[in-house]
Amino acid sequence: MTLEPGHYSYREITTQAASWQGALAAVNRQRTALEALLEANHDRGHLYIGCGSTHYLALFAAPYTQALTGRPCRAAPSSEVYWQTESLLTPGSRPLVVALSRSGETSETIMAVNRLRERGADALTISCYDDTDLSRASSLTVAIPEGREESFAQTRSFAGMLIASQAVAALAAGNAALLADLARLPGLAERLVTRAAPIAERIGQDEAIRRITYLGSGPLYGLASEATVKM
């Protein structure tokens, strides 16, 4: 059977409600352990790390969490954390590392987590898989199997990990209202995708459009960067 180009990606985009729901369920399953880990690191700040798409996710999650919690948060590429540890961190600092990886087998992220664990830092992994080298290197893993994909591009997985990151930030802030708002999202997904589909089709088929630019500041800078990669 010959599939149209983009078949898997299109299916994964249009079925991402399952990933959103899976992300919230995964956080809820680990809620007690997450709250304990966040409390143990309440005065250490968070360091969000990833590669490629998940680095852009880190660029969203760090300022988002900092604004919500007041905790110092920053994002960095996993390779920089491994190779430039001393230029990124002050001597003796042990931030809570939040490692973002669709597969849980991203080599640079595993290396970075191991490097920071050697300093005494705790690590939280957010991924679509749990039985991985990254999960074994971490203190705790939030795994979202509903976000797994067949396509190369991260779409459903990215969205699931994003919502999981928001839910973790809400737990850190003790923000029950935000958790309730996030719980409503999966029920809105189908309507949102259906409403967006004709706009996307019109723009995608318009051969007069030669350039598309995404703009975003603050947490949305990371999402604008990721949208550029996807386009």
Task: Give the tens place of pLDDT for each residue, 176-192.
Answer: 999 999 999 999 988 99
Beta strands in 26-166 (DSSP E): 46-50, 73-77, 96-101, 123-127, 140-143
Rg value, the chain, Cα:
18
C-alpha dist (Å) from residue 210 to 9, 205, 213: 22, 11, 10
pLDDT confidence tier of residue 153, bands split at 50, 70 and 90: confident
Q: Kindly tell me the number of DSSP H helices and DSSP E strands found in the chain.
A: 11, 5
Q: Is residue 102 a contact partner of residue 73, using CB atoms and an 8 Å limit?
A: no
CB atoms near residue 223 (< 10 Å): 18
pLDDT confidence tier of residue 124, bands split at 50, 70 and 90: very high
Euclidean distance between CA atoms 48 and 25, whole angstroms: 22
Q: What is the pLDDT of residue 151?
A: 87
| Interval 193-209 mean pLDDT | 91
Q: What is the pLDDT of residue 165?
A: 98
| Interval 7-36 mean pLDDT | 94
Encoding tokens for residue 176? 């029950």
| Interval 120-144 mean pLDDT | 97
Model confidence at 133: pLDDT above 70: yes
Model confidence at 2: pLDDT above 70: no
Q: Which residues are within 8 A (CB) of 103 and not within 5 positions of it... i.e. 6 or more apart? A: 127, 128, 129, 132
Q: Per-residue pLDDT tens for 35-56?
A: 999 999 999 999 999 999 999 9
What are the φ and ψ backbone dihedral angles of 181, each rounded to 5 degrees?
-65, -45
**Which helix (H) or strand (E) segment is 87 a member of?**
helix 85-88
Q: What is the pLDDT of residue 35?
A: 98
| Interval 111-129 mean pLDDT | 97
C-alpha dist (Å) from residue 76 to 17, 82, 131, 199: 29, 10, 25, 34
Of 1-10, 47-56, 201-210, the one with minimum mean pLDDT is 1-10
Q: What is the pLDDT of residue 163?
A: 98
- End-to-end Cα distance, the chain: 26
pLDDT confidence tier of residue 18, bands split at 50, 70 and 90: very high
Model confidence at 217: pLDDT above 80: yes
Q: Compute the mean pLDDT over every residue in the chain, rounded to the nearest whole number.
A: 95
Of 4-18, 37-51, 64-78, 125-139, the one with minimum mean pLDDT is 4-18
